[in-house]
Amino acid sequence: MTQLELKINELKELLSEMTNLVRLQLTKCEDAIMHNDHAIALEVMAKEKRVNALELKIDRDCENVIALFNPVAIDLRFILATLKINTNLERIGDNADGIARYIVDLKKTFDSDLVEKYQLAEMFQTAVSMVDDTIASLVNEDSKMARKVLDKDEKLNTINRQATTVTLDLIKNAPERADQYLLLLSIIRKLERVGDQTQNIAEEIIFFIEAKVLKHKDKR
């Protein structure tokens, strides 16, 4: 195995580590919301520093590979994709951190019927499964798996659109609880952005494997 191949494998391991970390951040956010657990939310906020540190390391390693080995073809595509994947992973971490900060300000646990109306559990599960698919598609260099992410993102978009209507209806009927409704809507918005960022990662994986650029095109 050449030195370049070794460095690329190291980068893949770092990307997997960061992807698993932001996945854990999302699942901990869900636990914190469902149980109004401020301790878990604070843990998510503390781990954000680890996400940021990994982002910086991956960026530096990519720069070093370009400078030292002058990669071409699929190797160059991998490095370019890694730089963009890295940025999107850090932004997913930012959104998890933002959700955790909402939870810290939460005075009481959301009612189960309210969580159900907003389809919050389904939103979290879909977002996490999209992250899982990106890990699998990157490790196995499987562009078909990456395309599953693109299909799942529409589900998050649908729930996000419905959340606006749900919020307006709830505020009309119980304006005294508007703060809770708006907080849930804000969490939904952040999860929808997680979906967009995960879709961006999937597009970069497809670019790396197939040399196809999907940005601004029909993704399917």
Does any domain span residue 123? Answer: yes
Cβ(198)–Cβ(149) below 8 Å: yes
User: Is residue 217 in a domain?
Assistant: no
Distance CA 115, CA 121 (A): 7
For the chain, how many structural domains are there in total?
1
Tell me what the mean pLDDT of segment 151-163 comes to. 95
Domain coverage including residue 101 = 3-210
Evaluate whether residue 220 is within a structural domain: no
Query: Is residue 162 situated within a structural domain?
Result: yes
pLDDT tens digits, 46-99: 999 999 999 999 999 999 999 999 999 999 999 999 999 999 999 999 999 999
- Domain for residue 69, yes or no? yes
Residue 216 within a domain? no
Q: Does a structural domain hold residue 218?
A: no
Q: Please report which confidence band the pLDDT of residue 9 belongs to, taking 50, 70 and 90 as the band edges.
A: very high
Q: Which amino acid is at 81?
A: A
Residue 102: CATH number of its domain: 1.20.58.220
49, part of any domain: yes
Torsion, Cα 37 41 44 48, to 10 degrees, reads: -170
